[in-house]
Structure 1
Amino acid sequence: MLTKEKLKLYWKQFTESPRAKKFQSVFRKVLIVAIVSIIIYQLWDIGWTEVLNSLPTHPLFYILFFVLYLTLPTGEVFIYRQVWAVKRWESFKAFLTKRVYNEEVMGYSGEFYLFMWARKRVGKSEKEVLKNVRDNNILSAVSSNIVAVILIGLLIFTGIIEVGDIFGNVSLVYVFTGIVITIAFVALFIQFRKYIFALPLRKALIVFAIYLSRFIIHHGLLIVQWAVVIPDTPLSIWFLFIAIIIVVNRIPFIPSRDLVFMWAGIELSRALDMATASVAGMLLVSSAMKKSLNLILFLIFSHFNKSEDIEELRRGYEKSSHVKKKD
């Protein structure tokens, strides 16, 4: 008889098999090719000449790009200083490399790199380092989800999203029940936080505050950057774009999230009757610059660090695959 436990066992054996790993690699490549093909078709449909003529020319757009690129690793320097006593410049380079892995390789591969890097430098056991990385990821997810809920509330309040069209007539009983359940979950989270993450409450609140501040500043600057290219666009429209970014970033293990957002952003601009060529040009330049900068910084840090951490990361993947093949 096929039981739930047997299904779990079969699934685990399949996901850990060399065939599954090969399938995952092929699937990622096919997915990237498919997304790029769709974007090329979108740009062709708009008109390459129109897109090229609509590329951003305002210097502030490019200044903000570099500021935005640095906000994420800079924020992580202050965040991880709460748990690790490491030099700021050394950790900054590590967080830049982590970003490259997460954006260009696969989601959470950057966290694996950070763990490999930190376990030799922070003077803590591997278990403690792993807990620190896990705790920070939890707090990052919580902060972004809170902003997402607030953002959706603003979109509903401004009438961009019609609740009635989605849920129909919602009874106050359901609203009250939802509030009670939410409060109960928060209370349980606080009560059993030690089983969920290891950070003390005070330090966790500090880290959460930094994550939340970084999130708001980063996405606020992103709206300013877009507004430089397409002025006079209502703020509620840019909130919709931010909502898409949040959704895309929450999808696990997806490669090249900026390409997925570019695809979705172009389609959204058409639906909202915006200047599609300007949106496409803006997102195209941002994506190309981000990938180029990721590659350049990765090569620079790999050279000056003698690729020790990256080589160890590669050996870790190979060792893991080799052990699984033996099994």
Structure 2
Amino acid sequence: MTETIIPLPAPEPGGALRKWSTYIGPAISVAILVAVVLELRKLNWVLVWSIIPTSPLIWTVLFFSYMAGPFSDWVIFRRLWGIPASGIFPLLKKLIGNELLLGYVGEVYFYDWARRHVKMEGSPFGAVKDVAILSALAGNIMTVVMLIVTWPVIRELQFGEVMELPFGISLKLGVNVLAISIVFILLTSVVIMFFRNGLFSLPRRDLWFVFGVHCLRLLANTGLSALAWHLILPEVSIDSWLLLSTVRLLLSRLPLIPNKDLAFAGLSTMLAGKEVQTGVMIAMISMLIVATHVVIFISLMILDLAQKEKNA
């Protein structure tokens, strides 16, 4: 008679976090709040108010661009866990935590939230880990694809030469640095795929779904950014802005490119023309994004306090 062996469930990778689960969420929230206060002190609110777009269409595009990340995460975890519509709120905190603190701090916060609010079989750790890894993999693959598509233009952008930027700033982008960065991206992607059986815990169908959503998010962000820039500075064609948006994604993913913001400012001037105030527009949008982070996080904190008062 053959004995049936029932495998024991694997120990939860986040078990060490369970002991501190009562404190993780509040601690990260406090850290984000401190970051928000620091951003409030740095922001020039008079300038922010003076540069706020008046066109409803621009605001609509900026809104969808901002929400692309949290909404795509909500679609993913709606499929994986069946989270409710209110799950968008912790996902917004996840975004703000990653932007204002450190990368993947938001994942830790969302992991803690999921443990306490979502009923599921097994641990949420594996799903959060898989989604984060696939996000990086999708970004790497999309970067390489966009680099291939835009290479005829990229190779003309004076790589290896000194670019003179505004305010007397000089910047040199070497071809060797670019090549090493691309090799690094390819190697990390190959490593992920080689060890995929040991890295991923979700079923294959779910993994493909998550990967597809991340790719669509990247395409949406690229297109919406180009559209927003075109609406703000319509004298530049949408094709040029789409190319510039692709270059921004490329620079953001290349790990060894120094001073990414300066590089992007210089390349935007070269692509759009020195007579176009691209630097002012990019600075304006960056300031509006930070201001949006601040306003949304404070609103979520007030909403949490109101909910606790209601349940008390």
Q: In which range does the TM-score fall when normalised by the shorter chain?
A: 0.5 to 0.7
- Partner of residue 101 from structure 1, selected from 97, 102, 122: 97
Query: What is the aligned partner in structure 1 of residue 128 from structure 2?
Result: 133
Q: 2:299 corresponds to which letter in structure 1?
A: I
Aligned partners of 2:94 and 2:106 also within 8 Å? yes
CA 1:58 to 1:302, structure 2 compared with 1: closer, same or farther past 3 Å? closer
Q: What secondary structure is seen at the aligned counterpart in 1 of 2:282?
A: helix
| Residues 133-159 of structure 1: CA deviation (Å, up to 9, x unaligned) | 110011111111111111110122x34
- Partner of residue 81 from structure 1, selected from 78, 83, 93: 78
| Residues 200-256 of structure 1: CA deviation (Å, up to 9, x unaligned) | 11111111111111211121111111122334447356424433334336759xxxx
Query: What is the aligned partner in structure 2 of residue 148 from structure 1?
Result: 143
Query: What is the aligned partner in structure 2 of residue 209 from structure 1?
Result: 212
Query: What is the aligned partner in structure 2 of residue 12 from structure 1?
Result: none
How far apart are residue 274 of structure 1 and its match?
A: 1.7
Distance of 2:263 and 2:194 partners within structure 1? 40
Aligned partners of 1:54 and 1:277 also within 8 Å? no
Q: 1:78 corresponds to which letter in structure 2?
A: V
Query: What is the aligned partner in structure 1 of residue 233 from structure 2?
Result: 230
1:118 aligns with 2:114: yes
Question: Per chain length, whose mean CA-contact separation is higher, i.e. which structure has more relative contact order (CA < 8 Å, sep 6+)?
Answer: 1
Gaps of 5+ in 2: 1-30, 161-174, 177-182
Distance of 2:228 and 2:275 partners within structure 1? 16
Distance of 1:131 and 1:225 partners within structure 2? 36
How far apart are residue 281 of structure 1 and its match?
A: 2.3
- Partner of residue 247 from structure 1, selected from 244, 251, 255: 251
Q: What secondary structure is seen at the aligned counterpart in 2 of 1:81?
A: helix
Q: What is the RMSD of the two structures over their aligned residues, measured on CA atoms?
A: 4.0
Aligned residue pairs total: 240
**TM-score (structure 2 length as normaliser):** 0.64
CA 1:298 to 1:62, structure 2 compared with 1: closer, same or farther past 3 Å? same
CA 1:250 to 1:129, structure 2 compared with 1: closer, same or farther past 3 Å? farther
Distance of 1:295 and 1:149 partners within structure 2? 33
More helix per residue: 1 or 2? 1
Distance of 1:217 and 1:306 partners within structure 2? 34
Aligned partners of 2:126 and 2:200 also within 8 Å? yes
Gaps of 5+ in 1: 1-24, 41-51, 168-177, 253-259, 310-327
Distance of 2:74 and 2:154 partners within structure 1? 37
Residue identity over aligned pairs, in percent, reads: 24
Aligned partners of 1:266 and 1:276 also within 8 Å? no
